[in-house]
Amino acid sequence: MNKITFLPRLQRERDKFENLLNRVGFTRQMTMKGVSGRLSVKDLLADILSREQFMADRLSEILHGEVYSPCASHSALDIFQNKFGYPDYESPLLEKENRNHGVTYKHINIGVDDIVEQELAAYGNIVTALEKLTHDHCLDHDLFHRIAEHTYKPYHRTSMEINRWLRSIAAESN
């Protein structure tokens, strides 16, 4: 893989996700519970925001020559989350697919528009940093895989949940 093929794929996946969010529509629907358990689309978007912010921060560290090492202890995980406001998603101690309800709770009093704005900024920071990094940086840090893990793979999981929810709403209204 290289940046010439990865960046358009990332953008295509992003476009599909944004189109789905546009189908959800109004703020009221974004905050309705029950999309995934008791979570709303807003809650799911907060989870994606935290994953993208995690990746944007790691890319910034690479650009500045800083070294990131995944947390190897539970106390290190707590320190990391207190410092950054999101979990160390690449720690082997964390289950990758599971949502961190602390992230959802952290965003409970933040409006949908603010979460969307922050999420768009985090995604933009990922793209900007990736454009600045050399191909060798991308390979040395396994960035194509890591970026996919924190962007479009969560988009896919979340899209499946939202689509299932939209179908259930449509079935209830018939």
Q: Flag whether 84 is in a domain.
A: no
Q: Which residue has the tokens 């707590």?
A: 78
Q: Flag whether 141 is in a domain.
A: yes
Q: Is residue 13 exposed (0-12), middle (13-18) or buried (19+ Cβ within 10 Å)?
A: middle
- The chain-wide mean pLDDT, for the chain, equals 91
CA distance 38 to 87: 21
Q: Flag whether 92 is in a domain.
A: no
Take residue 77 and report the two structure tokens written for it.
């995980």
Model pLDDT for residues 35-84, shown as the tens digit of each residue: 988 899 999 999 999 999 999 999 999 999 999 999 999 999 999 999 99
Asked if 123 and 14 count as a contact pair (C-beta separation under 8 A), the reply is yes
Which DSSP state fits 39? B
Indicate the pLDDT class of residue 97, thresholds 50, 70 and 90: low
Model pLDDT for residues 104-125, shown as the tens digit of each residue: 778 888 999 999 999 999 999 9
Number of domains comprising the chain: 1
Q: Is residue 141 exposed (0-12), middle (13-18) or buried (19+ Cβ within 10 Å)?
A: middle
CATH code where residue 56 lies: 1.20.120.450
CA distance 131 to 23: 30
Query: Residue 139's domain spans which residues?
Result: 3-66+97-173
Q: Flag whether 31 is in a domain.
A: yes
Phi, psi dihedrals of residue 38, rounded to the nearest 5°:
-95, 10
The pTM for the full model equals 0.92
Residue of higher predicted confidence among 98 and 63: 63
Q: Flag whether 91 is in a domain.
A: no
